[in-house]
Amino acid sequence: MALDTNDAPLHAADHNAPDYNARCDLAAALRWTVRHNWHEGIANHFSLAVSDDGKKFLCNPRDRHFSMVRASDLILVDGDDPATLEGPNAPDPTAWGLHGALHRRVPHARCAMHVHSKYATVLACLEDSVLPPLEQNCAAFYNRTIVDTGYGGMAFEEEGERCAAMFSDPRKKVMVMGNHGVMVIGDTVAETFNRLYIFERACETYITALSTGQKLRILPDEIAEKTAREWEEYPGDTPANHLRELRRILDNEGSDYAT
């Protein structure tokens, strides 16, 4: 699964492997992150736990643009083995620092997506980085978001451990990383990507509303909480269906994400 100078995976994806569909989901999420313009060149990382204890996880390879990552390119990282950083498929050190700490310390963080998307990052730069329940999407995160105001530099091991320690409340699956970006966690790729999508949309609405200079009409606390619970209890599996449709679009276009 090392990268190749011909821009082709050294090993074709094993369609019979137990993690094949998960790899495809993660690769598709990376491709769509580019389409939404949430990527940051060859930086930022998505990860997915593949062991029962969550400590072994798939991650996009170092220095590969999100738009080029295929299922077979994803590297397997052991969060308990620092020697991982010495191999030919060593992850980016900030991926090890931030995602490694999450997968070691936070069992409910099966999937983790970190980006510097435009509107979430603007929110992270405000003196008050709390997303208010301005409308329905914003209300989904009412009392369910961590706001980190203690940015300590690049996400190497010390900073990664500090951030991971803040995910103590299982209800809170979004961290507004002050002066940095956003980290979103979840049980599956579909759930996590859908949450990231809705959060960025909510931030866009809020930042746009602020730009009008008009007084905002914020939802009452009781309605915000009711709406957040309705999001959590919504019938069906919207996240899975969302990702299924995104994969269908890629498939119809002849994308190589699943190779």
pLDDT mean values, one per 10 residues, the chain (259 residues)? 40 78 98 98 97 97 97 96 88 97 97 98 98 98 98 96 97 98 98 98 98 98 98 97 98 98
**Residue 161: what are its φ and ψ, rounded to 5°?**
-65, -40
Question: In this predicted structure, what is the pLDDT of residue 1?
Answer: 36
Contact (CB, 8 A) for 63 and 90: no
DSSP 8-state assignment for residue 96: I
CA distance 184 to 115: 9
CATH architecture of 20-251: 3-Layer(aba) Sandwich (3.40)
Alpha-helical regions (H) of the chain: 20-35, 93-95, 101-105, 118-125, 136-139, 157-164, 189-211, 221-232, 238-252
Question: In this predicted structure, what is the pLDDT of residue 6?
Answer: 40
CA distance 127 to 97: 26
Question: In this predicted structure, what is the pLDDT of residue 3?
Answer: 36
Question: In this predicted structure, what is the pLDDT of residue 11?
Answer: 54
Contact (CB, 8 A) for 4 and 64: no
CA distance 33 to 209: 24
Taking alpha carbons only, the member of 107, 111, 117 closest to residue 33 is 117
Q: Tell me, what amino acid is at 238?
A: T
Question: In this predicted structure, what is the pLDDT of residue 246?
Answer: 98
Question: In this predicted structure, what is the pLDDT of residue 12?
Answer: 65
* pTM assigned to the model: 0.94
Write the DSSP assignment of 114-173 as a string of letters: EE--HHHHHHHHSSS------SHHHHTTTT-EEEE----SS-SHHHHHHHHTT---TT--
Give the largest CA-CA distance in the chain: 56
Contact (CB, 8 A) for 134 and 207: no
What are the sequence ranges of the domains in the chain?
A: 20-251
**Strand bridging mode 145-148 / 174-177:** parallel
